Structure 1
Amino acid sequence: MIVRPAPNWFRMLFVWQGSVLKAILPQLALMTLVSVLAMCTHGRIFGEKVPLNTTPFTLCGVALTIFLAFRNSASYERYWEARRLWGNVLIAARTLTSQVRRYLPGDSALFDNAAFVRLLIAFAYALKHQLRHSDPSADLAKLLGTAQAAELRGRLFTPMLLLDEARKRLAALNRAGVLADMHLWMLDRPLDELGAAVGGCERIHATPIPFAYGVLLHRTVYAYCALLPFGLIDSIGFATPLICVFVSYTLLALEAIASEIADPFGLAPNSLALDAMTRNIERAVLELTDEEVPPAIQPGPCYELS
């Protein structure tokens, strides 16, 4: 996802980076060609007039709009749930860090406070890489050391292994009498919340919107846009290409946006900004430990004018 500053109204008209216009330009070019052919032939195909007017497009347009709204709502619901789960990761990691610092002795030979905090940060990075099918080795080596990162290489569910390691360290303190049962239960709750967030993200990632919905919407949108010039040519004449391309842009862009945000963990411009969110978790946790806080990921350039 592009992390961006708030644009003003005029520059918003010409935003290129982050817009789906780049992705649908070939489709718009095809619809422009169809519209120009319909205008040049006066709505005829192989010499025969296509018997269409605006009435069926009005009725079909209402149904298509309702279906597009449903698809976009379903996609945005996945996007928003994923964002909420990552918000829970931030809350739980920050809570657990504060509890560990205040409820555990800082000079205990059995517990390395700084190493435990790095374990939580490594959990956030491992979750990001798992959802994006990328290699977490570099981030884990920086946070945990090359030896522990090598042990985790190739594992399927690295975030849960890191949570298990965190729980193992707390349980060892409890068995040694350093951590009271009450505090152990208290510390176990944010660990459960982190585990629930992992499960929620895995559910979204592994359960896409049913393929049939996408196929039906895709075919309907293209059929509507391809036939629209033949229904408008008799009523608006030479303005047919302009209006048809504008309508096609709206429908095709809505379909493209729904497809992008249906996978909130991807690398598309409108997916979640997992890099920035993971860095924010790291910054929030480190600030509680009075360690050096890395800089935030700054908004990048996103106003390339077309």
Structure 2
Amino acid sequence: MFIVSRFSWLSDHHHNLFKGHVVTPAEWQHLRSWRRHLPDFTWTGVLLGYWPWVVYFTLIAVLLGLYHTVLVPRGAPVWPPRNLVTVVYQPFAITLFALALLMVFRTNSSYARWWEARTVWGQVFTVTRNLSRQAGAWIQAEKEAEFQMLVRWCAALGYILEAHITYNRDFGTELQALLRPEELKLLDSWEHQPNCAAEVLSSIVASAVDNAQLRAAMDEHIATYLHDVGACERIQRTCIPYCYTRHTSRFLVIWLTFLPFALWDICGWASPIVEAVIAFLLMGVENIGIQIEEPFHTLPMLSYCKVIAKNSLEVGRQRRGLKCFVADALKTELAFAATGKPHNGFELAKGHNGAQQPSKEYAEDPAVGRGNATGDLESGVPGP
């Protein structure tokens, strides 16, 4: 049991290396610098995912070396024969192109799935922000209860989708903090929880928004959310064709198994080291394709859910203050417009067609267009 638990820990540690996170500005700067090429110790964790195969390939090279060192001097036949070294080497040179092509296609297909999943989550960001924004603008103050309920459910959409595509029926503390117990009970009673959330949102919109066109605009975002849910389900439940994955893996294992026979005559006892390095690199490329094929394991979805909840709840907190600010700002604008002096300090004069035109004094200001204050635009000399 101890050995099994240790292997399980190694496997979990390896998988955790591929879990993504939100990239910070400091990390972007590091990725652009020359220091990104400096070695680190993450390769040891990556090796944990397929170290038995690296050991297997290296052991074959060691056994071949022992055969040539111990048995050949005692009369065992040399394998491969000296006159067939070139013949043995040629199949590896010929099949390397096919192997590389298979692995590139495999990795590209996995990356396309990963990027599609990230794009879908980007649409979920947009849907929740727009739905919250429209609710804040279009739901009247006398229906504050409906507005706050809609904002809470918008904040929960990310967590509901994340739980749905990871087959997690347990409500986390984040979701429990957003929804009331009776709402959680309703959500748990549905087999398809994102559909339940969409139904609740549609009901709130129907109750809180009287204008049919506004309701249709908000319902369009709810429909987009369900479209994104369907896209996530398609990615989660459909893998790259299994025969393609198996053939690539089978090709790689056979190729690396017989590679020591082509290396021995060239590298001698350096063959085990060369074999281990080549196996580590090629198995690593294949492993990347395997890990990112299921993108919801590698994307930082909980971080996305927190941002979605934060943005939606902020609309609920700021709505009253924002409406007061806009009302006061409009009063100020109207007051300045009545005097012909907008609050930016520039005077406007009526043009011949009745439109507001810049006054002669402002139009002739040498700091505008000729750059005395901001720099000479024609010469390119910066201003003071």
Same fold by TM-score greater than 0.5: yes
Deviation at 1:152, TM superposition (A): 2.0
SS of the residue aligned with 1:23? coil
2:190 to 143, 155, 162: 155
| AA at the equivalent of 2:169 | D
* Residue equivalent to 2:129: 94
Query: CA distance change for structure 1 residues 193 and 250 in 2, over 3 Å: closer, same or farther?
Result: same
Question: Could you list the per-position Cα deviations for residues 252-301 of structure 1 after superposition, in whole angstroms to 9, with x for gaps in the alignment?
Answer: 111111111111112xxxx111111111211222233336xxxxxxxxxx
Q: Deviation of residue 112 (structure 1)? A: 2.5
- Structure 1 portions without partners, runs of 5+: 292-306
1:239 is matched with which residue: 256, 264, 270? 270
TM-score (norm 1): 0.85
For residues 125-144 of structure 1, give each alpha carbon's deviation from its aligned partner in whole angstroms, at most 9, with x where no partner exists. Answer: 01101111113423433211
Distance 1:47 1:258 in 2: 41
Pick closer, same or farther for the CA change 1:100–1:2 going to 2, 3 Å.
same
Aligned mates of 1:19, 1:274 — CA distance in 2:
22
Aligned-partner SS, 1:41? helix
Instruction: Give the structure 2 partner of residue 32 of structure 1.
Output: 58
- SS where residue 259 of structure 2 aligns? helix
Q: Which amino acid aligns with 1:94?
A: R
Whole-angstrom CA distance in 2 between matches of 1:152 and 1:190: 20
> 1:193/1:18 Cα in 2 relative to 1: closer, same or farther (>3 Å)?
farther
Q: Is the Cα contact below 8 Å between 1:124 and 1:159 reproduced in 2? A: no
> 2:155 is matched with which residue?
121
1:114 Cα shift?
A: 1.8
- The answer to whether the 8 Å contact 2:54/2:276 transfers is yes
What residue number does 1:137 align with? 171
| Deviation larger for 154-163 or 135-144 | 135-144
Q: Label 1:67 to 1:122 Cα distance change in 2 as closer, same or farther (>3 A).
A: same
Partner SS state of residue 142, structure 2? coil
Give the C-alpha shift of residue 12 in structure 1. Answer: 5.3
SS across alignment from 1:14: coil
Aligned mates of 1:262, 1:214 — CA distance in 2: 11
Change (3 A) 1:203 1:18: farther
User: What CA distance in whole angstroms lies between the structure 1 residues aligned with 2:43 and 2:312?
Assistant: 32
- Would you say 1:211 and 2:239 are equivalent positions? no
C-alpha contact 1:125 1:136 (8 A) present in aligned 2: no
Residue 256 of structure 1: which of 279, 283, 287 is its match?
A: 287
* TM-superposed deviation, 1:17: 7.9
The alignment's TM-score, normalised by the length of structure 2, stands at 0.68
Q: Note the residue ranges of structure 2 that are not aligned, 5 or more in a row.
A: 1-18, 319-384
Whether the 8 Å CA contact 1:20–1:257 is kept in 2: the answer is no
Between the aligned residues of both structures, percent identity stands at 24
Question: CA offsets, 1:119-163, max 9 Å, x none?
Answer: 012221011011111134234332111122122225321011101
1:287 to 2:332 alignment: no
In terms of fraction of residues, the more helix-rich structure is 2
Query: Which structure is larger by alpha-carbon Rg, 1 or 2?
Result: 2
Matched, 1:49 2:84: no
